[in-house]
Structures are given as structure tokens and as C-alpha cells.
Structure 1
Amino acid sequence: MKPGETRLNGQTIHSLLDAAAQEAPDAPAIRDATGRWTYRELAAAARAFARWLRRQGIGRGDRVVVQLPTSRELAAMFYGTSRVGAVFVPLNPAMKEFHLRSVVGNAEPELVLTDAAGAPVLRRVSTVPVHDIADVRPDLVPAGEDPGEAEAVAPDDLAVLIYTSGSTAAPKAVMCPHAQVTFACRALTEVLGYRPDDVVLCRFPMSWDYGLCKVLMTCVARCEIVLADGESDVRLLRRMRETGVTVVPIVPSLATMIVRLAGRDTRPVPPVRMFTNTGAALPQSTIDALRTHFPGARVVRQYGQTEAKRITVMPPGADRERPDSVGLPLPGTRVLILDDDGSPLPAGEVGEIVATGPHVMAGYWRNPEDTARSFRRDPRTGEPLLHTGDYGWLDDDGHLYFQGRRDDMFKHKGFRMSTLEIESAAMDVPGVRAAAALPPGDGHGLALFVESDLDAHQVITELTKRLEPPKVPTVCRVLKEFPLTLHGKNARRELAALIEGNGA
């Protein structure tokens, strides 16, 4: 492979693990609160799960819904499902019956696997066998060196359905084929420079592509992942020290928590060499605090959507350059900026961000309307195009600058603006730990929520020093704690309900 060239094409999820188990069988692979497996042990557990699935009659193309906490066992199930050619459908354990009913109905699985807490609910919403992992676990004992031959799986076969949050209650699952997933994970591993001696902390569920992708990226790099989704917040730094964590994927809420914990902790910091952020822009004050508490650590900005995993990454060695940029396209991919008519815009002009390349997923499961809207083909080249619905611009060197999501952009008092710039200004106010802005809506004006020790009047006063008058919120609410989505993002619908419920 030439320098800078990304290895890819024709790979499958389980082949990544097979290669790791062959090349580094005794290297530590995965750790959770209950123990640790080598790559040899992880591969054996995956083969055992594949054998169990075959005995249940599960084969190529069948959907397997799994609602379990993120663990070594769940990772083995992921690889084992791939091994029989079935489609892995991970659901967040926190998902409630209201959403489970529509998701299970949409996925139409052949089999459901959960725990004792989830079994009663899933049996109410499903017409297929629902298995309690406690009953299944005795059958998942690895059988020595049994090779457990994999099914013939094509690169364009579906590997995973990832259900994403949206603006409606209707479920929307991104179809993730083997080829696209393995390409994206290999490309990200290369660009971020994961090393065999790395230990990667993962605080995210495997039901989110951010967590799922980290399981695969560490496998590609032959390094270790520490799954800590369900572990106590207050023990986080201790856990990082105990396991020797070197890489920490973050979202802004997790970064804020790490900064807060590090500020109270007098013991030596964990040997973190890199933080990688996605989900939302990381305030500069948080970036500065991470660098202060973890000297020498890189803070890498990324931009992406589940529909293409990651779209751009700021190279780690350039993390202090172009502070407003979210980086360069992955190797072998491109980013276009298009106007409303679909024509390319020159550098410096704002338009819709469109990604093209082998990382673009296959569309939305059983949702042809939304698929046609977001997943298109270049009329000239036939390349897949992902219309993100986000806005940004490229500089002359191809770096992307994210301006806001479609829902973030709005007009107010004749001015076009973004919630992101208002939130960024709020986060610049000393004492503000988190911020979320809401565009004007029925019954309320431009609103801002903050987590802060300041009062609302003090926050607004500070914002008048940082924003033009039309961009200064008319409503400010100080919260003790922000409502968050299952993925750690601001829960904007819940925030809007707080405003509307009070008639502000």
C-alpha cells in the first residue's frame, strides 16, 4: 500500500476480526467492567455466537435485534452476526416501549436478544422469538479451535441497521453494508493514526455508530478498546488511569465532564495522547481546558453523519491549525459544496455539504422517500452522493468549515443566523458550562438555555458584548442540568417544551 492510500474494498465485518486474531492472537482486544479478552478469545466468542445463530435458523439477510448493554459479549455478537451473513440491529437499552414498538415493526427481525429487564417489553412488541441472554449464555461457550467457517457474504450485503434520532417518532434506520463500514473504519484508523499500543476508551453505546465504529477501528489497529458506557461518571478518570487510556472519543457533554473531573483531581492524569470529537462543535474554552489538564494531547475535530460515518477529520498533527475548520475529507472521498440548484460553489461560498465516496451508505431501510432525498447519484459520474442537509464552505486547500445544520439556520429580524454562533458566544462567557439556542417558535422568541452559576440577566448582558442586537436571545433560562439525548447531545425538543410549557 502506498503512503496515504487507504486499504479497502471487499472486506467484511468478521474478516477484520479474523485477520486480527491471526496476526495478533494474544494481543489485548477488548475490556469491560467484568474482564478482558485477547483477539483470540474475542474471535472464539464470535464463532460461538455464530453457531448459536445457525441453530436458531438465522442466515444471510435476516435481521437480529439486540438490546443489551455495551460489553465484550455484545461485540462478539456483532462479529458473530456478520459471520452468518445476518444483519446486526443494536438498540440502546434506554429505548422505551413507545419507540421499540415502531422500531421492531420496521426492522422485522427473525430473532430478538435482550436481558431479563428488556424481555417482557420486547415480547409485547415482537412476534418473533425473544431470547433472554441469561438463557442463551450457556450455549455461547467457545468450542476450542473450531474455525466456524463463515457464510459467503458479499461486500454490498447489509451488515448493520443503525436507528437514528429524528424530528418525528417514525423510525429511520441507516443501511450500512460491509464494504462501506469497513472502508470508513480503515480510513479513520489511518487518518487518526491509531497504533497497536493504543488503549481507546469508549463511553458510547454500540447502538450509536460512534461506539460501533470504535470497536472496528481498534480491531483494524490491533489495539485495545475499553467499553465504559455503563460505568459511573465519578470513576471515569480512575478507570482511565487503571487501563492506561491513550485515546478518548468525545462529544461536548463528555468533554465538559472530563474537564470538570480533571479540575478536581490531584492525582496524575491518564496518558491520553488524543481526544477525537464529533456530534457537535467543541467550544474553544473546552479545547483549551483539555489541553491544560492533559499536556501534549491532541484535540481532533471531526464532522460526520451516520449516513457516511465520518466525512472530514482534522489531521491530528494539525489540530491547532485552522481552529474553525472540521478538517479534510477522508482519503478516497470528496466533499462538495452545492447551491440550491445542485451546482458546485467556489471556495469560500456557503452551500449544502455533499459527501461522495465509498463511505456513503446505502440509504434508509424501507424508506424510499427519505432515501431519494438524501442519497443520490452524480448525473455525470454515477458516484453516490450524500446530501447532508448541512451547510458549510471549503477553503482553497479543501478544508471544510461547518456553518450549521438545516435546523440550525434561520432568519430573525431580517438577518440570517445560526444557533451555533449564538451557542458559541454563550460558551465564551466565563462561568457558562453548556449552552443551547432555539430559533423563534410558536409562542416564544429567540431562546437560550445555559448551565451556569450566572443568572439569566448576567448571561444576556455578556452576550450583548459578543453578538449583534438581532442575535441576542430574548429569553434565557438557567438550568442545573441539561436534558440530553441517548447519544449525549442536547435534547432540543425537551428544551423547546420547557419554553412552550411556560408560555415564554
Structure 2
Amino acid sequence: MRIEDHLRQSAGRFGSKMALIAGGTQLSYGELDRLSDYLAASLVANGIKVGDRVLMIAENSAEAVVAFFAAWKAGAVPCPLHASIKQDKLRAIIESTEPYTILAQARFLSLVDSALSGADHVPLKIAFGTLPTSATEDWLAYEAIATHDGKAELPRQVDSEALALLIHTSGSTGTPKGVMHSHASLLAACGAIIDYLENHSDDIILSVLPISFGYGITQILTMVMVGGTLVLEKSFAFPRKTLQRLAEVKATGFPLVPPMAALITGMQDLQPDFLPQLRYITSAAAAMPPSVSQSLRALLPDTQLFLMYGQTECIRATYLPAEEADRRPLSVGRAIPGTRALIIDEDGSALGAGEIGELVIEGPHVMSGYWRDELSSSTKLLPVAHGRRLHTGDLFRADEDGFLYFVSRRDDIIKTRGEKVSPQEVERVLYALPGIREAAVAGVDDPVFGQLIRAYVALEPDAELSEKDILRHCAAHLEDYMVPKSVEFRDALPKTSTGKIRLTAEQSAPDIEDNVA
């Protein structure tokens, strides 16, 4: 079974039921199925072939969701890119993927044209929204081609192992890497997510997550698979409006990232259980500080909180059952259903409880590899009996009950005074100090100690904390070698497009990576 088959199946079962609400657009399952049929037929009529790539540059919108399913129905491969992508990175991805078509929101047309300047091959260009007067004549209007003319016959695709999605990550070098997922691997990941979240056709999920990365895309797929309703919002730029929207649509699920949770719990006038219909919240894209998760649980005591970890390369790797959130707030749980997660040493041997090593993931949800990069693929992947083994490159430990705990990215470990320090451990202590809104820790090169630890913090508006206050707090809760040597105050810390605090985000183009920790 392929992804688009689930849409056809849900359209058959729930034809008139609302599938998607995005801005002012509402689409039933029948309408979503028909519109994606029409666009797919137009793509085929325009010459697209099985396996061709469809680059998509758009904010969250109904047109983008239709385009996903149209590409799959045409046998093509969607390649969604974040709306904040820069010209140089876009050009590199275009050169690498050689797309047959580029589908872009109207405000990104000049970006696409600039990236295509001097290109040997210019893809079919499709724009949706009101085209600016400056748009070149070679842009086709989405509204004009996504209509039924009865001319093109839509082929039925049957290969579930075919490439279904290319999601680009920046990687450690900053060079875009295309993570390849098949229909089978995406459906395996989403099926496991549906299993532990107990999704069903009555679910209404409100998502502000960009549909350019895995966490956002899974909201589309899981709802279509169960026949639920997805309410797609453009962003979390206005938190109170998002909370009002959650109440208006009676959302039963709300996926978020930790900075969003921190903003919500920082609102002083919210009453406990103010969203009585909300059945669960999921958190990914970064580790949630325990102080934030505890505040969220107090604010919404009847709402289940699922803390999760994953990477673009496997979509989702682990989850913490909601009943464990209070007992093990630092854990990311165990492997998702139908998969394995284990911690190994440098020789590949499994490690016991308390020992720190690399987390590896095994299962049918692991990517096929990196696009046109056999060397990187071979270093990250290993065939196993039931799928593939993914080397995450992240350091973990497990407790006596087998629950997993993120320690650090292998490259993020700070080496100071002959000791190894996990930035996350220091950051947890910083977040425990009232008045700190955002915190990050990094190593600063030092000729004597190798590296010195520096803390970067953003304070709450009414907080009055000095560097001395913060260092005194750290000294009371950390071993000497883990205490930061300096504190740098910021109005806000830089974040990737997925909402993850990352100090390097200010030196580079916005990251489109989906490491769901």
C-alpha cells in the first residue's frame, strides 16, 4: 500500500467529512482526493514521469497538501523546502535533485528565478496565490492547471518501496543532504505513531509545524491514515491566537516544540485545564526542560504529554508513554512500536544500563539513504533482518528499566579540564533557575583548559539576574568542572526553522533539519 492509497481509502469511507482546514480553505476527504487527482493528471499531461522530483517552497497551506498527494499519485517525489531557505542553498538543491517541476507560493517566485539563473535546465514552474506583476511568463498558475480537463489519464502506482520523499538536512558541513524515504518507511513510521498516540477518525489535530520537515509532514499522513481532521496554521507567531484556535476547533491533539511550550507556560493568566477537549500534546525537535514539562502538566493535567526523539533519517525513533512523563521527565522513552533502539560502544557491542554510547535505530522506518551520496549512506546505514540500522551519531544512556536518555550529540560534547561535559546537563540546571526563559551552553576554545564553558541566556521580561547570580546557582547544582566560566545575555537565542535553539543558527542560513530530540 502506498501513501496516496490511504487518501483514496479515507475518501471512500469519509467522503464528506472535513479532512483539512488551512486558513480560509476547508477540504473534505472527497475534495482533497479529487483536487489532488486533477493536479496529478495535469502534471502527467505536462510530461512528469515516475520518480521525477517536485520541489515545493511554501508556507503551510491547502495547496501544498494537495501538491503532496498529487505528486504521489503521479508517481513523483515531493521535496518540500522551508520557506526561509536562501538562494545559495536552493540552487544547490536544484542542481542535486534536478526537479521536473518547482511548485512555489507566489511570494517566492523571485527567489526561485534567482536560484535558476544560468541553469542548464529550467523546470516546469507552478505558482499558487496571486502572481506578482513581476512574475515571468513561464510561471503557470496553480489554479489554472489544478482543474479537471478529462484529457490526461492518471496511472495507478503500486510500488510501496518507491521513493516517496526527499527531506533536506544541513548536516555537520552545512551542505544539504537529501534524506530518502520510501512509501513503506514513511507508512511504517506513521503507523507506529498512530499506535502509541491511539489516533482515530474523531481526532482533530491543530498543527503550526512547517510541512517542510518530518514532524510537520507526519501530522498530514497520520490524519489521512485514520480519517481525522488536520487544522493547519501558518505559524506560532501569535501564541494566544493559536490557543484560541485550539479551543475553537476543539482540537484533540497539538504537536509542538519546547520553545512553544515555554511560551505557553509563561502566560500567567491561563487557567488549569483551559483546553478540556485536548487529549494529547506531543513534543519533539529538542529536549524539553523538566521545569517546562512540569508546568505544562500542571496547566493541562488531563492532557497526555508525549516526549519524543527522532531524526529525519527515521522520522521517529522513541517516545515516552504519557504515564511516565512525571516519573521520568528527562527520558525520551523506548523505541516506537515495531522497531528497536539500542546503545552501542565504538566496537558495536551493546552497552548496559548507565553506560554512555551511540544510539542506533533498527526497523522498517529507517531511510533508504542519502540522495546521490553513497559514502554518507554507507557510514550511517547497515542492513539488518527487519529493515535497516541507523547510526544516529547521538550519545545516550539507558536506565535499569530500559528507558533512554539523551546525553549529547557526539560533536557537541565539551572537553574541559580533561573532563567531558554534556551541554544539555548544564542547560537543565540553567532552566531550573526562575527568570531564565532560554538557555544554551557551548565550549569556547582556551589554550590552557582546551575549552571553557560559556552560558548564553535570555531572561524573562521582568527578571533581574546577574552573571554572578547565574554562576552561583550553577555552582550549587553542578560539579566544579561543569560550571560555566562566563554568561552572555541575549534578548533571544538563535533558533533553527524547526524551533530548536542552536547557537550556530546565527552564523548560517536557517537550518531545515529535523532532528527530533
- Give the superposition deviation at 1:145: 11
Which amino acid in structure 2 is aligned with residue 176 of structure 1? H
- Give the superposition deviation at 1:470: 0.8
C-alpha contact 2:273 2:301 (8 A) present in aligned 1: no
Q: Give the match for residue 392 of structure 1.
A: 396
Q: Give the match for residue 456 of structure 2.
A: 449
How many angstroms apart in 1 are the aligned matches of 2:273 and 2:395? 41
Q: 1:144-178, CA deviations, whole angstroms, 9 ceiling, x for partnerless residues? A: 99997543241111111001132323111100111
C-alpha contact 2:454 2:485 (8 A) present in aligned 1: yes
The DSSP-based 3-state class of the residue aligned with 2:316 is coil
- Give the superposition deviation at 1:231: 6.0
How many angstroms apart in 2 are the aligned matches of 1:429 and 1:145? 64
Question: Is 1:94 paired with 2:105?
Answer: no
CA 1:418 to 1:231, structure 2 compared with 1: closer, same or farther past 3 Å?
closer
The DSSP-based 3-state class of the residue aligned with 1:118 is helix
Q: 1:393-415, CA deviations, whole angstroms, 9 ceiling, x for partnerless residues? A: 23444322222211232321121
Higher RCO structure, 1 or 2 (CA under 8 Å, sep 6+)? 2
Q: Give the match for residue 483 of structure 1.
A: 494
The DSSP-based 3-state class of the residue aligned with 2:439 is strand
Question: Is 1:438 paired with 2:442?
Answer: yes
Q: Give the match for residue 255 of structure 1.
A: 261
- Give the superposition deviation at 1:27: 2.1
Which amino acid in structure 1 is aligned with residue 490 of structure 2? L
C-alpha contact 2:11 2:33 (8 A) present in aligned 1: yes
C-alpha contact 2:339 2:364 (8 A) present in aligned 1: yes
The DSSP-based 3-state class of the residue aligned with 2:330 is coil
Question: Is 1:312 paired with 2:318?
Answer: yes
- Give the superposition deviation at 1:445: 2.7
CA 1:242 to 1:148, structure 2 compared with 1: closer, same or farther past 3 Å?
farther
Q: Give the match for residue 502 of structure 1.
A: none
C-alpha contact 2:366 2:387 (8 A) present in aligned 1: no
CA 1:496 to 1:447, structure 2 compared with 1: closer, same or farther past 3 Å?
farther
Stretches of structure 1 that go unaligned for 5 or more consecutive residues are: 1-10, 498-504
The DSSP-based 3-state class of the residue aligned with 1:416 is strand
Which amino acid in structure 1 is aligned with residue 435 of structure 2? G
How many angstroms apart in 2 are the aligned matches of 1:147 and 1:269? 51
Q: Give the match for residue 84 of structure 1.
A: 74
How many angstroms apart in 1 are the aligned matches of 2:243 and 2:475? 37
- Give the superposition deviation at 1:486: 0.9
Residues 120-269 of structure 1 aligned to structure 2 (within 5 Å)? 120-126=110-116, 127-134=122-129, 135-140=140-145, 143=148, 149-230=154-235, 232-234=237-239, 235-261=241-267, 263-265=268-270, 269=274
Give TM-score scaled by structure 2 length: 0.88
C-alpha contact 2:359 2:396 (8 A) present in aligned 1: yes
Question: Is 1:469 paired with 2:468?
Answer: no
How many angstroms apart in 1 are the aligned matches of 2:151 and 2:322? 41
- Give the superposition deviation at 1:439: 2.0
C-alpha contact 1:246 1:273 (8 A) present in aligned 2: yes
Q: Give the match for residue 134 of structure 2.
A: none
Match of residue 503, structure 2, among 475, 480, 492: 492
C-alpha contact 2:340 2:361 (8 A) present in aligned 1: yes
The DSSP-based 3-state class of the residue aligned with 2:173 is coil
Match of residue 278, structure 1, among 263, 284, 287: 284
C-alpha contact 1:347 1:396 (8 A) present in aligned 2: yes
Q: 1:59-103, CA deviations, whole angstroms, 9 ceiling, x for partnerless residues? A: 210001011111122111101100111000111111111211112
Q: Give the match for residue 345 of structure 2.
A: 339
The DSSP-based 3-state class of the residue aligned with 1:386 is strand
- Give the superposition deviation at 1:113: 1.3
C-alpha contact 1:410 1:439 (8 A) present in aligned 2: yes
Stretches of structure 2 that go unaligned for 5 or more consecutive residues are: 117-121, 130-139, 509-517
C-alpha contact 1:29 1:225 (8 A) present in aligned 2: yes
How many angstroms apart in 2 are the aligned matches of 1:72 and 1:240? 19
Structure 1 window deviating more from structure 2 (410-419 vs 315-324): it is 315-324
C-alpha contact 1:115 1:132 (8 A) present in aligned 2: yes
Identity level (%):
32
Q: Give the match for residue 421 of structure 1.
A: 425
- Give the superposition deviation at 1:267: 10
Match of residue 107, structure 2, among 117, 130, 137: 117
Match of residue 459, structure 1, among 455, 470, 479: 470
CA 1:142 to 1:121, structure 2 compared with 1: closer, same or farther past 3 Å?
closer
How many angstroms apart in 1 are the aligned matches of 2:224 and 2:469? 49
How many angstroms apart in 1 are the aligned matches of 2:431 and 2:255? 21
- Give the superposition deviation at 1:495: 5.9
How many angstroms apart in 2 are the aligned matches of 1:132 and 1:158? 24
- Give the superposition deviation at 1:232: 4.0
C-alpha contact 1:52 1:139 (8 A) present in aligned 2: no
- Give the superposition deviation at 1:36: 1.7
Q: 1:242-264, CA deviations, whole angstroms, 9 ceiling, x for partnerless residues? A: 11122111111111122234x33
How many angstroms apart in 2 are the aligned matches of 1:329 and 1:146? 48
Q: Give the match for residue 290 of structure 1.
A: 296
Which amino acid in structure 2 is aligned with residue 188 of structure 1? I
How many angstroms apart in 1 are the aligned matches of 2:141 and 2:156? 22
Structure 1 window deviating more from structure 2 (145-154 vs 126-135): it is 145-154
Structure 1 window deviating more from structure 2 (217-226 vs 203-212): it is 217-226
Match of residue 3, structure 2, among 13, 36, 40: 13
Count of matched residue positions in the alignment of Structure 1 and Structure 2: 484
- Give the superposition deviation at 1:468: 0.9
How many angstroms apart in 1 are the aligned matches of 2:443 and 2:13? 53
Q: 1:293-326, CA deviations, whole angstroms, 9 ceiling, x for partnerless residues? A: 2231121111110100111111234333333321
C-alpha contact 1:33 1:231 (8 A) present in aligned 2: no
Q: 1:119-158, CA deviations, whole angstroms, 9 ceiling, x for partnerless residues? A: 1221232332322224423335554999975432411111
Give TM-score scaled by structure 1 length: 0.91
Q: Give the match for residue 104 of structure 1.
A: 94
- Give the superposition deviation at 1:224: 1.1
CA 1:168 to 1:83, structure 2 compared with 1: closer, same or farther past 3 Å?
same
Q: Give the match for residue 358 of structure 1.
A: 364
CA 1:300 to 1:148, structure 2 compared with 1: closer, same or farther past 3 Å?
farther
Match of residue 57, structure 2, among 29, 52, 67: 67
Structure 1 window deviating more from structure 2 (225-234 vs 89-98): it is 225-234
Q: 1:427-474, CA deviations, whole angstroms, 9 ceiling, x for partnerless residues? A: 111111111111233797311111113232221121111111111111
